[in-house]
Amino acid sequence: METTITAKLKLTLTSEQFHALRQTQLAYRDVLNLVSKHAFAHGKTSNSRRLHHDLYDRVRGEYRLPSQMACSVFRQVGATYKALWRKWRKDQEALKAGYTKKRFKGLDDAPKYVSPTLTYVYGHDYSFRTGQEVSILTLTGRVRVPYQGWNRHVTLLGHGAIIGGAKLWYDRARKRFYLLVSLTIQTPDPLPTQARQIIGVDVGQRYLATVATLGKGVQFFSGKAVRARADHYARLQKRLQRKGTRSATRRRIAIGARERRLKLETNHTISKHMLDSHPHSVIGLEDLTGIRDRTKRTHGKKASRKQRRANQHASRWAFAELHDLLIYKAHLAGSLCIKVDADYTSQACPRCGHTSKGNRPKKGLLFCCEVCHYTLHADLVGARNISLRTLCIRQAWIQTGQVSTAPDGTDVEAKAARLTRYAELRWSPVPSSLPLGGSI
């Protein structure tokens, strides 16, 4: 199994090298916007070969961009338009199905590249040299620059990883350059017999993550304090955006970056604690693809103040980022993450199997079964149902020798069969071999 990580290397530059890299970055961004406007004017094309044929000579002559960088520009713009067309097609399907009424507007104007991030190809635009130095291509030629990084990443650069492309990123606040290098690591394929336990992870707003094993193990990751800070940053950005001055805009961008770092650090902490507590486990995660279109919420003037606040919280936290961090860290830790269907995980009783919206009185944190009167924390019920569904997938993995890490949402009959099988599952309070710790 291959796992891709990113090594962040800080570059130690002289004033001449700094100026050369900065000029190369700005020229690369200008060419990106030039090619983007050309692609928009010619049918919003995503054909990188056509863009290469139309603009290669102009890019090389007018902007003095090296050949490999010019080819990277055409591929990057083509990939951007492919992603936009893919989102447009998904939006058309959602409109026909009635999941949404909003029209995708990403193709109304030519995409504009604001960040001066520069893409490098390993072996052509940059390469590593002895003495912990990297050779980087600029508009005026190559420069050899010393770098610093995390010891484990520096070791992987020398041996143990396949080096891929890189991005030259400029930290405007600290006026530093960083080289973000893609590293591919070979990890052994997990086996179902090596899994020590099975856990289910339910994500939410009050509790960012709730972890449950097949026994009595449970762990809550509260989001009260973190969400309060994120709300504070959101209120500041709203006031600054309403003010609208240039200094307010600069401040709003800085606060937005601070909020982004807060969420990333929180998700990193949660994923690290989770994997340290459960080594060599099979981790069940909800498949939340298209969850915003599938859930019915009240928006606009019809929504109350409480509903608008709930919509804001649901849309601002990065749950997909937490899943992505868990998936790649699980591969490095010898564990495996599996996506399961998210349907009725918070409405199904794990003891008797009764499924109903009435099991969640007033959609609160208390779960109370209408049939067997089983009462428990609602997020814990969801996590236990996820762990039971993960157990089903692991049993099928043992029988067939193959495992699917994500359910096929396009096959309606297969999904109905899975949900029927999940309805037959029952939770039994067997003591867990590895009890969980408390909450953070």
- Give residue 89's pLDDT: 94
- The pair of three-digit structure tokens given for residue 210, joined into one six-digit string: 């709730």
Phi and psi angles of residue 162, each rounded to the nearest 5 degrees, phi first: -95, 120
- Give the mean model confidence (pLDDT) for residues 372-384: 91
> pLDDT digits over 362-373, tens only?
878 889 999 898
Query: Which residues are CB-contacts of 111 (< 8 A; sequence separation ≥ 6)?
Result: 36, 40, 80, 81, 84
- Give the mean model confidence (pLDDT) for residues 418-428: 83
- Give residue 290's pLDDT: 67
Torsion of CA 21, 26, 28, 33, to 10 degrees: 170
Q: List, as one string, the DSSP characters of 283-299.
A: EEEEE-TTHHHHS----
R_g of the chain computed on alpha carbons: 25
Of the pLDDT bands very low, low, confident and very high (cuts 50, 70, 90), residue 87 is very high
Q: List, as one string, the DSSP characters of 360-424.
A: SGGG-SEEE-TTT--EEEHHHHHHHHHHHHHHHHHHHHHHHS---SS--SS-HHHHHHHHHHHTT
Of the pLDDT bands very low, low, confident and very high (cuts 50, 70, 90), residue 214 is confident
- What is the model's pTM? 0.81
| Angle in degrees, CA 243, 248, 253, rounded to 5 | 125
- The pair of three-digit structure tokens given for residue 345, joined into one six-digit string: 């995980």
- Give the mean model confidence (pLDDT) for residues 362-385: 89
Q: How far apart are CA 117 and CA 229, in angstroms?
A: 29
